[in-house]
Chain A
């Protein structure tokens, strides 16, 4: 309860600061409108269907991209993790590709897909894939060697081993990967829209910017921030439910 109060007080303080800074003339009001103006613009935006359509497009691109990246990364991660030698074989490639920032693919995406969902997906999938893959690889590597050998010597099939041993061990890592990927995917979805012009929230921000509608730009940024928080909260909730049996989560609940 007190945590909530502190949280609200912190937010209130931020709003008061955002209201005061332009009003006092510390920053030019034309470039940073006061919080009250931003919020009233936001209210007007929320009443119009355009924002909701754009938000739907952003979330569609986010979900689709995340799904593709997640499925591909889990399958690839488990296969690389359990097939002997494959980890060593792919390590250098993964370490080479992983650090390439997804935004560096903007020119390529523009060329291949232009301002469309395809560009969003390309950036989102690339960014989210590595987040999940690395976690899955760690998760598979964390499987207890004795347990694995025991499972083998008892003649469990490869599928049974994955199903009953590898997957439960890796699941907490997978969920961490999903949580990281969900946040990164959202960032990249908005970036693609903003830079390439794929339809969605980012494109709305871009149009507002090129229209010189400064309060609208800030209002849309607030929307993006709120959605980002919601995405993170939703994935955390999912994580807690999926891992309800896991000691790490159980102790968190008990505390």
Chain B
């Protein structure tokens, strides 16, 4: 009996002492490889970095890349600012907001872009099949779910309504995670939902009807998200990461079949859904004009407090 306790205590202490600290980030490891930890959300948008890692594009640049899944943009920004990640992925509005708050962030590569095509984008506003809402204009004054308030969702949905000739000021946005939105739409808690893939395809296959393609509406070839770093990361490593990332983006854009394959490795999206989702675009260059448009729209809607010069964020 006493021995059992001693053995248990010994086990616990061993566990306590055996916890190894992760290697200090960003340092030169053996063989001249730089260890890099990137904070990335496990969604369709981030397929290029996973594909690029699998293809060895980062090893080519002497980067030993670890991809850490984060639950959202807030986690990737706080992780990068606190030094846990050397590079991370966040959407355009989150980065603009971070910049406005005086956080030390700067963009190093494009992340993901809208296809710009109505009906073939990875982001849409959906309504129930029998809903009286027929067009984006009818969304005025309705209750619409977004995954995060005061972010890229509400900004671009307002743009859709405005473009269609409606008045976006009366829209009531409610915060609902993407996975919960289809159920809320069906039970009538909201009039419309904004979701991205794979939820767009899922909802449509279950009968929901798209009424607006908000990313395509907001700006031509909208840059939706970007990879960024902080001023702590040294310039040489940054340029190597950028090079690897550009190659990964280009490769992903040209090989949609391989993108669908890599999605099976880091997401749990059902294979039959993967086969039919609308993939986003992965251009190599950030569309700075579209980022400026988002900044201006966010300012007009009061999401941002003052005008932001996008060149300060995107060099």
Residues of A within 8 A of B (CB): 28, 30-31, 60, 63-64, 66-68, 70-71, 110-117, 195-197, 199, 203-204, 206-213, 216, 238, 241-245
Query: Which of B27-35, B64-72, B216-224, B288-296 forms part of the interface with chain A?
Result: B64-72
Which listed residue (B12, B15, B82, B179) contacts A210, Cβ 8 A? B179
The answer to whether A208 and B268 touch (CB under 8 A), given A63-B12, A113-B84, is: yes
Compute how far the CA of A209 lies from the CA of B181 in the bound complex, rounded to whole angstroms.
12
Count how many chain B residues have C-beta atoms less than 8 Å from C-beta atoms of the other chain.
42
Interface string of B163-193 (1 = CB under 8 A from A): 0000000000000011100110010000000
Q: Are A66 and B12 in contact (CB under 8 A)?
A: yes
A66, B82: Cα distance in complex, Å: 26
The reply to whether A242 and B178 contact each other, CB–CB distance below 8 Å, is: no
B12 to A114, Cβ gap below 8 A? no
B102 within 8 A of A: no
Interface residue? B235 (CB, 8 A): no
| CB of B259 to closest CB in A, whole Å | 15
A213: which of B1, B178, B186, B269 is its contact (CB, 8 Å)?
Answer: B269
Q: Nearest chain-B residue to A249 (Cβ)?
A: B1
Q: State whether the Cβ of B270 lies closer than 8 Å to any Cβ in chain A.
A: yes
Contact of B78 with A by CB under 8 A:
yes
Report whether B268 and A216 are in contact in the complex, using a CB–CB cutoff of 8 Å.
Answer: yes
Question: Taking the complex as formed, is B199 at the interface, i.e. its CB lies under 8 A from any CB of chain A?
Answer: yes
Interface 0/1 of B27-57, CB less than 8 Å to A: 0000000000001011100000000000000
- B185 vs chain A, min Cβ distance (A): 12
Chain B nearest Cβ from A121, distance in angstroms? 8
Query: Which residues does chain A contribute within 8 Å of B69, judged by CB atoms?
Result: 115, 197, 203, 206-207
> Are A64 and B42 in contact (CB-based, < 8 A)?
no
In the complex formed, the residue of A with least CB distance to B269 is: A211
Tell me, in angstroms, the Cα distance from A115 to B88 when the chains sit together.
13
